[in-house]
A = this chain, B = another copy of it.
Amino acid sequence: MKRASIKDIARIAGVSVATVSYVLNKKEGSRISESTKDKILKIAEEIHYTPNKIARSLKMSNSKLIGLIVPDISNDFYSNIARCIENEAMKLGYTILIGSSDENADKFGKLTELFSGQQVDGMIVTPVTGSDDAVKRLLRDEYPVVSIDYYLKDIDLPAVTLNNFEISEQVFDYFIKHDVEELIYIGYKTDLPHLLDRQYGFERKISEMGLTSTKILVEMGEVSDEVHAELKKHFKITSRKTALYFLNNKIAIAGLHYLVKNKIRVPEDVSVIAFDGIDAYSLFPTEITYIRQPLEEMAVQAIKLLDGQIKNFSDEAEKAVCPAELVIRKSVK
């Protein structure tokens, strides 16, 4: 894999590398004669020249690379958001490096080091529990970072978040409007602020209204078995109107699987609202009422904030709060 360089072109054309560089970069300022320009371009074409961006990066100290760290790229939600970020990044000439942290602070730290070693111009990250130190290191070196979806309680970072608290309140209000008498919230045992916001938005309303409610919290990871076991324990079909609220797509899939497996009818036997609109919901017998996250907008904002930081680093941590939307379908009676 030997590739042509600017030097090869210069040699063949009988000009200096500087001239070649000017021509290839189409600089307006430097006036090169049309004839040499043509000659250079033709030779470049002939010997299949492609610029070495590594060399360019070294000289220019920018790589046009962006690191994206998500919990798990195989998760539908993150692969969808990755796709949106890819689209937006390409528009600005950036290429995406991807890494999955598995919610593990160690892996997260390794990934930030790997990416900063690769000289990415900036990173879009979902900072997991315990990742404060890794993020601080980045900030200390004035590394452009923006968090997305996740955010950190104790570190002020440019961030793209959802209106988690408010959307949970809306879900609650919607249930109440439908005279739900008992609520089961199914979420994670976690310290992650964005997930706690979803929980708190709900809980505050519950305590205000004095409603019966159960909170099921499972360990992050392979949630399926635990969700099934907990639902079996806490959910019975009764004459009281009961509703389930699933914290995210992973829990929703586990929960809906439990319902369909046990032939529990939605919304006849129980009402349901789930976070995230994923294709999978379409295979469930009832159209699920869900919370849509505006992925495209989140991606646009993340790239905008990051690009801003790359071009002009600032300590002021700008925030973009994107509004989720409750998409009404047929799973609440």
Select from chain B the residue with minimum beta-carbon distance to A93: B114
- When the two chains form their complex, are residues A285 and B285 in contact, meaning their CB atoms are under 8 A apart? yes
Task: Give A294 Cβ to nearest chain B Cβ, in Å.
Answer: 15
- When the two chains form their complex, are residues A114 and B95 in contact, meaning their CB atoms are under 8 A apart? yes
Q: Known: A52-B119, A82-B98, A118-B54. Is A283-B253 also a contact (CB below 8 A)?
A: yes
**CA–CA, A260 and B283, complex, Å:** 7
**CA–CA, A119 and B65, complex, Å:** 12
Select from chain B the residue with minimum beta-carbon distance to A282: B257
Residues of chain B within 8 A (CB-CB) of A50 are 113, 116-117
Q: How many copies does the complex hold?
A: 2
- When the two chains form their complex, are residues A257 and B280 in contact, meaning their CB atoms are under 8 A apart? no
**Count of interface residues, chain A, beta-carbon cutoff 8 Å:** 58
Select from chain B the residue with minimum beta-carbon distance to A65: B118
**CA–CA, A272 and B83, complex, Å:** 31
Which of B95, B137, B284 has a CB less than 8 Å from the CB of A97? B95
Select from chain B the residue with minimum beta-carbon distance to A257: B282
Residues of chain B within 8 A (CB-CB) of A113 are 50
Task: Give A45 Cβ to nearest chain B Cβ, in Å.
Answer: 12
* Interface assignment of A141: CB less than 8 Å from any CB of chain B: yes
**CA–CA, A253 and B151, complex, Å:** 33
**CA–CA, A31 and B53, complex, Å:** 35
* Interface assignment of A63: CB less than 8 Å from any CB of chain B: yes
Q: Which of A22-30, A71-79, A158-166 contacts B (4 or more CB under 8 A)?
A: A71-79
**CA–CA, A253 and B282, complex, Å:** 8
**CA–CA, A95 and B57, complex, Å:** 17
Which of B63, B96, B116, B280 has a CB less than 8 Å from the CB of A279? B280
Q: Known: A63-B54, A283-B253. Is A95-B118 also a contact (CB below 8 A)?
A: yes
**CA–CA, A210 and B114, complex, Å:** 58
**CA–CA, A2 and B143, complex, Å:** 9
* Interface assignment of A177: CB less than 8 Å from any CB of chain B: no
Task: Give A85 Cβ to nearest chain B Cβ, in Å.
Answer: 10
- When the two chains form their complex, are residues A1 and B144 in contact, meaning their CB atoms are under 8 A apart? yes
Residues of chain B within 8 A (CB-CB) of A99 are 86, 95-96
- When the two chains form their complex, are residues B98 and A96 in contact, meaning their CB atoms are under 8 A apart? yes
- When the two chains form their complex, are residues A137 and B82 in contact, meaning their CB atoms are under 8 A apart? no
Residues of chain B within 8 A (CB-CB) of A57 are 54
Residues of chain B within 8 A (CB-CB) of A118 are 53-54, 64-65, 95
- When the two chains form their complex, are residues A260 and B285 in contact, meaning their CB atoms are under 8 A apart? yes
- When the two chains form their complex, are residues B1 and A142 in contact, meaning their CB atoms are under 8 A apart? yes
**CA–CA, A98 and B65, complex, Å:** 11
List 18 A–B pairs whose Cβ atoms lie within 8 Å, in order of A's numbering. Answer: A1-B142, A1-B144, A48-B137, A52-B58, A53-B117, A65-B118, A73-B79, A73-B82, A73-B86, A79-B79, A86-B100, A95-B97, A95-B115, A95-B118, A98-B98, A253-B279, A256-B282, A285-B285
A residues at B contact (CB < 8 Å): 1-3, 48, 50-55, 57-58, 63-65, 72-76, 78-80, 82-83, 86, 95-100, 113-119, 137, 140-144, 253, 256-257, 260, 278-285, 313
